[in-house]
């Protein structure tokens, strides 16, 4: 159980193909996990998820802790039975959500006190009760409680890192179930020495897998790539490496080149619901009027249900008419885009052609403008904080 088998390594990059065994099946890596925050990947049934080729699904401890409660999920036989998904699952620790969703929180050496974004009620996470919550939920891969801080604030990050390392050791000590793989999370912002220290400290704790957290939270793509360049080589080669919250197609290709095995991100599902659709040429915005008479599928050649059955014009109509089917079809396509991308990446690594594949993909794929992405992320964060503030009547 939880054995990582390295199957092939690219000669020119750090890319690697592997297999990671879990109680609900073996994950072929590199793999992309769609996000099912509230025990559902938005708009998709488990059957849809299987059909688009998803092998790993992420759920969120913070959200499930607040609603429906982790004891309830435990009493229903765990998250797999609760949501009807029989393949591997992963839960994050909820740490990231405490730091991004809750307008009021107080961190101390022992844990973090925060207010629910739903009703303003006060709660506390400690390494021990988060592991308990994740054991209640029962995913195959579970994460240590960590503190995710502003990547550019060195003074704060140093303190946060100390807590994150102490919490990792406490999470490991608290783990009672042996059928879940507890991953440590490397933090350290964009500071090389802190990342290396974090990687070494956690490696010494001998986790069955390692995540890299605190990226894709405001730093530039170049900073993220550079951080990966020096961080992954410090992680044990015989354990899977998980880059948390990263999932733009170009970042997945670049992450694989830097030795990452597992990715998750809300991006493919979230942009789908706004009419943003992935194609090999880049992201297209289906709400654009240029598509109103377009008889082509979203992406010619794609084998997903949306592309096999509907025109861009019809799916655009559904989005303009605010029909749920439009959100569903766009999500189906974007997740299928990601799973095909991962399949192709893996095949290229096995064939020894990954560098060529990477170059060809990046030459064709037009990256969404960084300024646009940052503006979107900021607007999202502002609206979340606003909501949280309103609900808490602060």
Q: Return the number of the residue (13 or 40) whose C-beta is nearest a second copy.
A: 40
* Shortest distance, position 286 Cβ to a second copy, whole Å: 13
Beta strand pairing call for 241-243 and 262-265: parallel
* Shortest distance, position 333 Cβ to a second copy, whole Å: 13
> Greatest CA separation found in the chain?
60
Token pair of 3 as six digits? 């054995």
Residues 326-365 that bind a second copy (CB under 8 A): 327-329
Catalytic residue among 10, 92, 140, 261: 92
Catalytic, 92? Answer yes
Catalytic, 206? Answer no
Q: Identify the sign of the CA torsion 231, 179, 146, 376.
A: positive
Q: Return the number of the residue (174 or 286) whose C-beta is nearest a second copy.
A: 286
Instruction: Tell which one of 38, 113, 132, 274 touches a second copy (CB under 8 A).
Output: 38
Q: List b or e across 119-130, with b for residues whose CB sees 16 or more CB atoms inside 10 angstroms.
A: ebeebebbbbbb
Residues 303-332 that bind a second copy (CB under 8 A): 305, 309-311, 313-314, 317-318, 320-321, 323-325, 327-329
> What are the residues facing 33 on neighbouring strands?
264
Show the binding pattern over residues 54-83: x = contacts a second copy (CB under 8 A), - = does not: ---------x---xx---x--xx-----xx
Residue 106 touches a second copy, criterion: CB under 8 A: no
Among 282, 376, 275, 284, smallest CA distance to 327 is for: 275
Residues 264-293 that bind a second copy (CB under 8 A): 292-293
Q: Return the number of the residue (313 or 367) whose C-beta is nearest a second copy.
A: 313
* Shortest distance, position 81 Cβ to a second copy, whole Å: 9
Token pair of 342 as six digits? 């991962």
Among 10, 151, 124, 5, smallest CA distance to 62 is for: 124
Catalytic residue among 140, 251, 261, 264: 264
Residue 295 touches a second copy, criterion: CB under 8 A: yes
* Shortest distance, position 46 Cβ to a second copy, whole Å: 7
* Shortest distance, position 139 Cβ to a second copy, whole Å: 16
Residue 46 touches a second copy, criterion: CB under 8 A: yes
Q: Return the number of the residue (111 or 297) whose C-beta is nearest a second copy.
A: 297
Q: Roughly how many angstroms between the first and final C-alpha of the chain, as a whole number?
A: 47
Q: Return the number of the residue (223 or 274) whose C-beta is nearest a second copy.
A: 274
E-strand ranges in the chain read 4-9, 16-22, 25-29, 31-34, 57-60, 89-92, 105-107, 112-115, 122-125, 141-143, 181-186, 210-212, 241-243, 262-265, 276-279, 282-285
> How far are the Cα atoms of 37, 52, 338, 341, 343 from residue 47, in angstroms, in the given order?
18, 9, 17, 20, 19
Residues 146-185 that bind a second copy (CB under 8 A): none
Query: Residue 75 belongs to what H/E stretch?
Result: helix 70-75
Q: Return the number of the residue (280 or 320) whose C-beta is nearest a second copy.
A: 320
* Shortest distance, position 303 Cβ to a second copy, whole Å: 15
Instruction: Tell which one of 24, 42, 287, 391 touches a second copy (CB under 8 A).
Output: 42
* Shortest distance, position 287 Cβ to a second copy, whole Å: 13
Instruction: Count the neighbouring beta carbons within 10 Å of the beta carbon of residue 136.
Output: 21
How far is the C-alpha of 101 from the C-alpha of 240, rounded, in Å?
28
Residue 238 touches a second copy, criterion: CB under 8 A: no
Q: Return the number of the residue (191 or 305) whose C-beta is nearest a second copy.
A: 305
Please provide the DSSP assignment of 99-146 as one string: HHH-S-EEE-SS-EEEE-TTT--EEEE-HHHHHHHHHHHT-SEEE---
The contact set with a second copy (CB under 8 A) reads: 38-40, 42-47, 63, 67-68, 72, 75-76, 82-84, 292-293, 295, 305, 309-311, 313-314, 317-318, 320-321, 323-325, 327-329
Catalytic residues, by residue number, are 92, 264
């Amino acid at each position: 159980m939880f054995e990582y088998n390295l199957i092939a390594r690219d000669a020119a990059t750090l890319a690697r193909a592997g297999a990671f065994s879990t109680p609900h099946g073996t994950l072929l890596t590199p793999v992309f996990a769609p996000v099912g925050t509230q025990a559902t990947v938005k708009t998709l049934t488990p059957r849809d998820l299987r059909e688009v080729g998803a092998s790993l699904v992420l759920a969120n401890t913070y959200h499930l802790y607040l609603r429906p409660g982790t004891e309830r999920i435990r009493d229903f036989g765990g998250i797999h039975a609760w949501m009807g998904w029989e393949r591997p699952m992963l839960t994050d620790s909820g740490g990231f959500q405490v730091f991004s969703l809750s307008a009021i929180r107080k961190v101390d050496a022992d844990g973090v006190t925060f207010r629910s974004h739903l009703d303003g009620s006060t709660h506390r996470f400690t390494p021990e009760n988060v592991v308990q919550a994740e054991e209640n939920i029962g995913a195959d891969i579970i994460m240590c409680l960590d503190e995710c801080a502003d990547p550019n604030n060195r003074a704060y990050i140093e303190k946060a890192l100390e807590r994150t390392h102490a919490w990792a050791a406490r999470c490991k000590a608290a783990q009672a179930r042996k059928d879940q793989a507890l991953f440590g999370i490397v933090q350290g912002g964009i500071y090389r020495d802190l990342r290396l220290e974090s990687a070494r400290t956690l490696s010494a704790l001998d986790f069955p897998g390692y995540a890299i957290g605190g990226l894709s939270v405001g730093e530039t793509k170049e900073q993220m790539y550079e951080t990966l360049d020096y961080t992954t080589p410090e992680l044990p080669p015989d354990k899977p490496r998980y880059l948390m919250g990263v999932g733009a197609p170009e970042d997945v290709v670049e992450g694989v080149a830097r030795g990452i095995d597992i990715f998750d991100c809300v991006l493919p599902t979230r942009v789908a619901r706004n009419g943003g659709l992935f194609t090999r040429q880049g992201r297209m915005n289906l709400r654009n009027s240029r598509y109103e008479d377009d008889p082509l599928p979203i992406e010619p050649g794609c084998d997903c249900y949306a592309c096999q059955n509907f025109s861009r014009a019809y799916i655009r109509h559904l989005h303009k008419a605010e029909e749920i089917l439009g959100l569903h079809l766009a999500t189906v396509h974007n997740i299928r885009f990601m799973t095909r991308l991962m399949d192709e990446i893996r095949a290229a690594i096995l064939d020894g052609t990954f560098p060529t594949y990477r170059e060809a993909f990046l030459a064709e794929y037009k990256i969404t403008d960084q300024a646009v992405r940052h503006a979107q992320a900021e607007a999202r964060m502002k609206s979340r904080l606003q909501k949280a503030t309103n609900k808490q009547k602060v």
